[in-house]
Amino acid sequence: MTALDVDPTDTLVLAEAFGVTVQGEGPSAGRRCSFIRLGGCNLSCGFCDTPETWDARRFDLRQTLTRTPVAEIVTRALDGDPPMVVITGGEPLLHQHQDGWRALLGSLILAGAEIEVETNGTQTPTDHTARWVTRFNVSPKLAHAGDPAAKRIVPSALYALHDNRKACFKFVCRDLADVQEVQAFTAAHALDPGRVWIMPEGTDAATITRRLGELADPAIAAGFNLSTRLHVLCWGDEKGR
Ligand code: SF4
């Protein structure tokens, strides 16, 4: 199967596909890649920087989201020959039971691309997803995100992702108290600190830089890794980068 012989009826709800750029966050930060951003999310984080993918109160989702043939999505994602494609959202694993999802993963794999999936950690990967994805960047949400714990923490999904050795865990933090909450979270759910990245919340370079300075020492002391948001340092909050 290639992008050109995907079943034309296979579609997914797309917000945008863009690149070539670089992965800005987590263990692959700095790597050339393209992004596929799918619509819909089961959470409603106060700091979300892509609310146009899910928030019908603030956005006309008929304008921001388009049901798009998978062949077209794959062609756009592979333009420029990136070695890696990042599938993000929204919450992309909400789509994993659709034929279009399987067609998307299969097409990218056959094209030789690595696949990263960015997920909020509330969805258990299907066998197909677990097998075909190269890396899961799992970003569980802390209390400051705003949703109740029962909605943002799904232990069965977290355990399934942790059991998959291809998953790393990335926590958005503002200050020392958030790092301490991550320590309690990882202890409570037996997450390996060596697979945890602490990343500053912020959509401008000054905020990212200031918070990195505050987060670095406590993160390292707790046995965690540290991530910046490289795309914000390069391009601010410009869309499509
Ligand atoms: S999980 Fe991600 S996409 Fe969904 S609301 Fe939170 S930050 Fe936004």
Is 226 within the bounds of a domain?
A: no
Q: Whose CA is nearest to atom 2 of ligand 1?
A: 90
Chain position carrying tokens 């905020």? 207
Check whether 169 has a pLDDT greater than 50: yes
Distance between CA atoms of 50 and 237, rounded to whole angstroms? 10
Q: What is the CATH number of the domain that holds 123?
A: 3.20.20.70
Cα 121 to Cα 140: distance, rounded to the nearest angstrom: 5
Residues 6+ apart with CB under 8 A from 179: 173, 198, 215, 218, 219, 222, 224
* Alpha carbon nearest to ligand 1 atom 3, residue: 90
Cβ atoms 196, 168 nearer than 8 A: yes
Two structure tokens written together for 209: 């830089």
Per-residue pLDDT averaged across 128-132, rounded? 97
In a domain, residue 160? The reply is yes
Q: How far is the CA of 97 from the centre of ligand 1 (A)?
A: 20
19 or 7, greater pLDDT: 19
**Would the CB of 45 count as within 6 Å of ligand 1?**
yes
pLDDT category at 6 given cuts 50, 70, 90 is confident
Residue 221 lies in a domain: no
Average pLDDT of span 53-66: 98
Decide: 172 in ligand 1 pocket, CB within 6 A.
no
Ligand 1 centroid vs 41 CA: distance in angstroms? 6
Quickly state the pLDDT bin for 5 (edges 50, 70, 90): low
**Structural domain for 142, as ranges:** 3-170
Q: How confident is the model at residue 93 (pLDDT cuts 50, 70, 90)?
A: very high
- Cβ atoms of residues 218 and 179 within 8 Å: yes
Within a domain: residue 28? yes
Q: Say what the pTM is.
A: 0.96
- Whether residue 233 is contained in a domain is answered as no
Identify the pLDDT of residue 1: 44
Phi, psi torsion values for 19, nearest 5 degrees:
140, 180
Please check whether residue 188 lies inside any domain of the structure.
no
Cβ 41 under 6 angstroms from ligand 1: yes
Number of domains in the chain: 1
**What's the order of all strands across the beta sheet hosting 32-38?**
66-69, 11-22, 32-38, 84-88, 114-119, 135-138, 167-173, 196-200, 225-226
Residue 114 has phi, psi (to 5 degrees) of: -75, 150
Contact 38, 30 (CB under 8 A): no
Q: What is the DSSP letter of 171?
A: E
The structure tokens listed for 199 are 């990343």
Answer yes or no: is 43 within a domain: yes
Whether residue 35 lies inside any domain: the answer is yes
- Check residue 74 and give its pLDDT: 98
Task: Quote the pLDDT of residue 237.
Answer: 84
Structure tokens at 230: 């490289």
Judged against a pLDDT cut of 80, whether residue 140 lies above it is answered with yes
